[in-house]
Chains A and B, each alone.
Chain A
Amino acid sequence: MKTLQQPGHGNGSEYSRAPFLSRLHEWIATTDHKKLGVMYVSTGLIFFLIGGLEATMMRWQLAVPGNTVLSPEDFNRLFTMHGTTMVFLVGMPILLGVANYFVPLQIGARDLAFPRLNAFGFWLFLFGGLLLYFSYFGAQGLYGMGSAPDVGWFAYAPLTERTYSRGHSTDYWILGLLVSSFGSIATGINLITTILTMRCRGMTLMKMPLLVWLMLIDAILIMIAMPPLAAAQVMLLFDRLMGAHFFDPQGGGSAVLWQNLFWFFGHPEVYILILPAFAYVSEIIPVFCRKVIFGYPLMVAATVSIGFISLGVWVHHMFALGLSPMVNTIFMGSTFLIAIPTGIKMFNWVGTMFGGKIRFDTPMLFSTGFLAMFLIGGLTGIMLATVPFDWQVSDSYFVVGHFHYVLFGGLVFAIFAAIYYWFPKVTGKMLSESLGKCQFWLLFIGFNLTFGPMHVSGMLGMPRRIYTYHADRGWELWNMLSSIGVLIQIAGVLFFVWNVIRSLRSGKKAGADPWDAWTLEWSTTSPPPEYNFEEEPVVYSRRPLWDKKHPEDPDWKYE
């Protein structure tokens, strides 16, 4: 590494000179929340590239009607693996990784409450993910059937029963997710405990940074919503391996019950994924607008109510099932209800920007992109919550467009915002602003070109998960546009990869506080020492660093 100026002097150089094996050992045996956070996020980004590659292959197949790049079987495997990867192996590890790194730093703690449990959680996640991908090699079973799972990421019964899913592909889907979700539950419990019991002096609940608040609610949702998935998967496993009848209609089992159980996990899971996105932009927008967050108590209240309501909306995934009008109406109402706290958050972010001195650095650019794209995803979400409209477009590309606006335009944009924002803290190097801006615009244009037209092809009746289509349906243009958009997105992601590599090798040095920010993580060096803070911090307000920088006008006078 050529940035080391004083050989043999200071910790940094001794550290980087250690032989490869001992450095590797240090990472593998670590219980340090910062190292684990970096490992979580890097693994998540690698899985992001794999999941993106799977999506690219599907878009290649769908670019023109009657294409034969992929067989129908391969296509089914790809959309299953794409969905499962993006939710469980990209979204979860990145959100847990960022929380791992920054929750202790923001509350002035030395580490998470249970460091070894934290390491255990990471390795469970990693090996769960590898187990899922091993299915490509190991799921043949005695029948020579199947390779990767091909039942969709929500694995509806009875398609997953032994009769219809031969071989072991579905077993790998169950076991891989079971292992990695145990890791998530462990880390969720760890985060709750850390936040509730390890805050520094002066940090009352209402002085916590919003990231900490959102991750607290997020971890509570993980703790409540993931065990039911584990229970459902265990029952499915018993069906498949021991001949139980839980989801086997011929033995009296209920396929609808699986849908209920899966979505009782699945909808909170959507909020488990999006709350961290809210958390990142809630940290970034105030800093780049030079204002305090607008309506902090309301943001907290909205977060808590989102957490509550998200546990009671799951049936909106099942409107087309033919449940009673009463049930549908109740869940339509609860789904509308959750738009209120979410809307409060949107207005508060915009209110924070309003009248602020906005600096459009890359983190802010991505956060603004998040606001716009998530708004579109949220509005189509309200459309889909309306039962009669849902009946028209359920399981069509409209739905695919909707949730990609939420999870890609929402979550992934926020993740990139977070990476540009905190990369200097983690590595001590700045990412390039010009490369970052190129990445943003390529991703923004490519994203809209890919997922915008899906709303149209969905309205025109194109169903999800079809591996090809006839030329006379009027879907050709929209599919071609979607596929072209993917190429632009790939260019954007390549800019990101190049930016990270370039910055690690020869990036501009970042000081402790490159963005002139206000939360505790910026009060220590970049990268932070292993012990985080030399002295235990004491906070008087929600913006401890503002108080330190502006002793003549501290925040605690007004809170």
Chain B
Amino acid sequence: MSATPTSPATPLLSPPEAMSQAMDSGKCGMLCLICSEITFFGTLLAVYLFYIGKDPAGTPTPSEVLEVSAAPMKVVFNSFFLLTSSIWITLAVRSLRKGAMGAFAFWWLLTILFGAEFLVGTGLEWYGMIADQGLTIRTNLFGSGFYTVVGFHAAHVTIGLFLLSLVFVLTLLGFMHKRHAEKIELLSWYWHFVDGIWIAVFTIVYIIGR
């Protein structure tokens, strides 16, 4: 408070210490964003769970489609790439903390490539489903749910890849420094979230849903 007259009261009380904030604004904001994203995906997944097995007879079922064109091996292969990319991004952030820019660029690029592989894999899986199986979003409930849930996840991967690539370009141009480690870590949290959601999507769509 500005210009408080010397009050007899205040000296009796030791001035409070600066608030020991548990986290900085960026971390708190990112956690909140992830929370709201979780409720978004939670809703989509709840709807997907609710509609399992409720399709009218005679339309392609999850087991037919997911077995023939993609599942189980191909999607497991893609998932492996996405999930391991979480390890590479952790190593990248660790390198940045130490100021090892070369190692940072290497792990960061590896994260991007692994994420890109997942996206390409999803694209090929969709191509197979649409072109060979004739399953689109309007075919049946399964199609509606599948493309919405997996599509929103893929959209989040795409956003993540765009941001990761931006950082990579900035690194190549020499704008990235050790002091940015805190902010880059936030981006890695988002990437971990995208991976974590994939575990939920995979469990519900490819295991429970089949």
Contacts and interface: CB of A to CB of B under 8 A. Distances in A.
Interface of A: 113-114, 185, 188-190, 192-194, 196-204, 223-228, 230-232, 234-235, 238-239, 242-246, 251-254, 257, 261, 264, 523, 533-535, 537-540, 544, 547-548, 551-552, 554, 556
A193 B54 CA distance: 42
B33 interface: yes
Contacts of B102: none
B1 A552 contact: no
Contacts of A197: 21, 23-25, 28
Given A193-B32, A227-B39, A201 B138 contact: no
Interface stretch (B109-117, B140-148, B187-195): B140-148
Contacts of A556: 13
Given A228-B39, A238-B148, A261-B47, A253 B141 contact: yes
24 contacts: A189-B29, A193-B32, A196-B21, A196-B23, A200-B19, A223-B32, A224-B35, A227-B37, A228-B43, A230-B40, A235-B47, A243-B138, A244-B147, A245-B140, A246-B47, A252-B54, A257-B47, A533-B2, A534-B2, A538-B15, A538-B16, A540-B16, A548-B1, A551-B5
B29 A190 contact: yes
B137 A201 contact: no
B15 A535 contact: no
Nearest to B45: A231
Contacts of A114: 25, 29
| Size class of the B contact interface (CB-based, 8 Å) | 35 or more
Contact of B55 (A189, A227, A252, A552): A252
B85 to A, nearest CB: 25
Nearest to A198: B25
Contact of A202 (B9, B16, B24, B147): B16
Contacts of A242: 137-138
Nearest to A225: B39
B184 interface: no
A244 B138 contact: yes
Contact of A548 (B7, B16, B32, B141): B7
Instruction: Find the residue from A231, A523, A551, A554 having the highest chain B CB count within 10 A.
Output: A231
Given A224-B35, A242-B138, A538-B15, A193 B28 contact: yes
A255 to B, nearest CB: 13
B8 A551 contact: yes
A232 B46 CA distance: 11
B43 A189 contact: no
A380 B133 CA distance: 55
A130 B97 CA distance: 46
B36 A224 contact: yes
Contacts of B36: 185, 188-189, 223-224, 226-227
B144 to A, nearest CB: 4
A539 B13 CA distance: 11
Given A196-B28, A228-B42, A246-B144, 10 more contacts: A188-B32, A189-B33, A193-B29, A194-B25, A204-B19, A227-B37, A242-B137, A244-B147, A245-B138, A534-B2
A198 B55 CA distance: 51
B13 A540 contact: yes
Given A198-B25, A238-B144, A551-B10, A538 B43 contact: no
B174 interface: no
Given A201-B18, A261-B43, A535 B9 contact: no
B50 interface: yes
A533 B43 CA distance: 43
Contact of A551 (B7, B19, B51, B148): B7
Contact of B15 (A201, A238, A245): A201
A157 to B, nearest CB: 12
Contact of A113 (B29, B37, B50, B143): B29
Instruction: Find the residue from A193, A253, A544 having the highest chain B CB count within 10 A.
Output: A193
A507 B97 CA distance: 57
A238 B47 contact: no
Contacts of B51: 246, 252-254
Nearest to B18: A201
Given A235-B47, A246-B144, A261-B43, A193 B138 contact: no
B109 to A, nearest CB: 29
B75 to A, nearest CB: 22
A192 B32 contact: yes
A234 B145 CA distance: 12
Contacts of B5: 551
A251 B8 CA distance: 76
B141 A245 contact: yes
Nearest to A557: B9
B56 A201 contact: no
B44 interface: yes
Contact of B25 (A113, A246, A552): A113
B144 A189 contact: no
Contacts of A232: 43
B142 to A, nearest CB: 9
A201 B20 CA distance: 9
A200 B40 CA distance: 33
Contact of A201 (B19, B41, B148, B152): B19
Contacts of A544: 1
Contacts of A189: 29, 32-33, 36
A254 B137 CA distance: 16
A552 B17 CA distance: 23
Interface in B98-153: 137-138, 140-141, 143-145, 147-148, 152
A252 B140 contact: yes
B186 to A, nearest CB: 12
A465 to B, nearest CB: 27
Contact of A235 (B13, B138, B143, B148): B148
A113 B25 CA distance: 6
Nearest to B16: A202
Contacts of A238: 137, 144, 148
A554 B9 contact: yes
Contacts of B147: 244
